[in-house]
Amino acid sequence: MKKNLLILLLLVSPLLLAQHTLQQLEMKVMLRHDGSADIQEWRHVEVSEKGTEGFITFNRMPDMEVCNLQVNDEKGTEYIVEPDWDVERTRAEKKNRCGYNRTEQGLELCWGLGEAGMRVYHICYTITNLVKAYNDYDGFCHSFYEAANAPAQAASLEIFLEHDSLTIENAAIWTFGYYGIKGISNGLCYATADEPMPNRGSIIVLLQLQKGLLEPALKKDTLFSETVKRRALEGSDYNLEDAGLSNSVSARLGNRKSAMKDYSEAPDAGEPDFGLLFSVLAIIIAVIAAAISKWRKNKEWRKEQQRIRTVVSQALDGKKYEEIPYFRNLPLKGNLLLSGALLGTIDLLAMLSDSKRLKIQCGLQQLYDAFILRMLYKKQISLAYDEHKGKPRTLFRISEPVMPKPAKDIQLNGDMTRISSLPENEALDDSAIAVARAKYSGYINDAGIEYHLQKFLYDAAGDDHLLQPDELKNFVKQNPIQWRPFATLLAFLTEGTVEDSRLKTDDVQQVVGFLRYLRDFSLVAERNIQETSLWKEYLVYASLYGIADQVRKDMKRIAPDVLRLDQLVPPEKLMKDFTPLTKAIASSVVIAHSYQTSSERTAIAYKHAREREHTRSSGGFGSSSFSGGGGYTGGGGSGFR
């Protein structure tokens, strides 16, 4: 009986797990001076009703430890960390929790899936001794991702140093296990899959660093090139000679014989070897020069941190967050986009300067929540209900949008901060942002975004003007090029920042004071009719900042009239009803934003193949090798169960 049950589970479980879709995986790895690495992952997942948890496995980790686990989701919920994870619990019991599951082979980081739908899991952890010191170079060969099930449809990885930049002069990168590109650009190393990851596909990275960039705590008395590097490159389609390795055993023996001959013909011990002395002196001078350069860079970074602290202090008029007075009206005369951009900028600058952060959750999902709620209030969207296959279903009736007149655009960072982690992708780089900004000139404001978002939903709804969440995703898949500029603009609006010169003290005081007012709403709100007339917009702003649930509960506690409150503030059921729509928008924007035409993919591949084959094999720009990558640490699979 037990045997039959086991067979049944083995047959059924892949079908259940396949219903989850990892639409996008973004990884950022910051290498610290001691060789440890702080890793952040963003997993954009279409979660089904099946399964209970996600997991990342770490096997083959000698002299390494995985620690400092943190998980939060698209709502900003911080998950409770459990040192001993119980995999046997139910989905409800694992909700908003994460932890360590130790196995015979190694370790798993696990987190509860929670609610179904479009989710974004932000997973942070540290790996100690990732970078090891060898006699010739520092480096590692590590598997950062290996698909156990539900392979990522899009995947990207960035590696950077804590206080320095990676360049083709001081670093080299080779990658294995996926079809895509890799290289070094803008001070970091990157690896990006050009197509969905295959089953059991991996992102294995071989990284070689010049001595002096880091001071790894773990030292190996051997050569990186002959142990780690050679083992990883053999069996790959990289050219070993371009990579600085001999392609034959006899050549290696010849090098050893040459070294022995040089040693046997060395000058007598009694004669001074001026060549050796000059070589040693040159090495000493090079080490001193590198140390001075690093000290100057660190000094420049500390100077920049101090400059940022000054900018933040001036913007807050020298006050701490708790000292900013409450602002009870809508900040910046109700300019929602600019208010969010200013708050996000202050929070980002506080992080860069090691100051106290505002801890807001202001991203794409919150942007959709705010605008959809506002459109519900304005009757531009209404809810309809029917039954589908015997179950109740929520539909969204989209009114025909009315195009507003062009108005003043909000001004964000002028340097066109990169929003895509796909380097060398002409379809998604800074020029794409410039195209999007030019196309929507006069409409990069509240009214313009609201109109184009409504038109997006109206076109997707079809002739009956009734929209189902699945309809929206299918519409985007059929029309990705049409909506790609708008998706690019939306991503830039939440990830770009306001220039320092635009941080006016009065504006910043308004948005920070209003945030304090919303957070302390139940403590400070006066109970009068004039104030409740603003409660709709209060909740719209609270949705943008990711604190809508808390603000609505506060409103309910102080409401002078519950019946009037339900007219002003949507009841809990309505909040839950429009969530599937905002999640569908988030999923659709990811699809449109990352879409490439076949001609674009071909052009990129041709460009790499034509221009960068040599630099590819020597650790510079180029394509990955699906084969090779032997001797890596980590891996073991990640997915859902």
State both tokens at 616.
């590819």
59, 61, 64, 69: CA torsion to nearest 10: -10
pLDDT digit string, tens, across residues 64-107: 999 999 999 988 899 999 999 999 999 999 999 999 999 988 99
| Strand-pair partners of 393 | 386
568, 569, 570, 573: CA torsion to nearest 10: -140
Strands 97-102 and 106-112: antiparallel
Q: What is the mean pLDDT of residues 547-553?
A: 79
Tell me how crowded residue 123 is: count the other CB atoms within 10 A of its CB: 21
User: In this structure, what are the phi and psi dihedrals at residue 44, rounded to the nearest 5 degrees?
Assistant: -90, 110
- Spans of all domains in the chain: 17-244+618-640, 316-593
pLDDT digit string, tens, across residues 347-388: 778 777 767 777 776 667 788 888 888 888 888 988 888 877
Instruction: Provide the CATH number for the domain formed by 17-244+618-640 in this structure.
Output: 2.60.40
Q: Give me the numbers of helices (H) and strands (E) for the chain, helices first please.
A: 21, 21
- State how far the Cα of 379 lies from the Cα of 397, in Å rounded to an integer: 10
The sign of the CA dihedral 86, 91, 94, 97 is positive
- State how far the Cα of 607 lies from the Cα of 611, in Å rounded to an integer: 6
Residue 265: exposure state from Cβ atoms within 10 A (0-12, 13-18, ≥19) = exposed
Q: Is 268 helix (H, G, I), strand (E, B) or coil?
A: coil
Q: What is the mean pLDDT of residues 390-409?
A: 87
Least trusted range by pLDDT, from 8-17, 410-419, 426-435, 459-468: 8-17
**Sequence letter at residue 299:** K
**Sequence letter at residue 224:** F
pLDDT digit string, tens, across residues 126-171: 999 999 999 999 999 999 999 988 899 999 999 999 888 898 889 9
Q: Which residue has the higher pLDDT, 309 or 15?
A: 309
Q: Is 456 helix (H, G, I), strand (E, B) or coil?
A: helix
Hey, which bits of 198-281 come out as E strands? 202-209
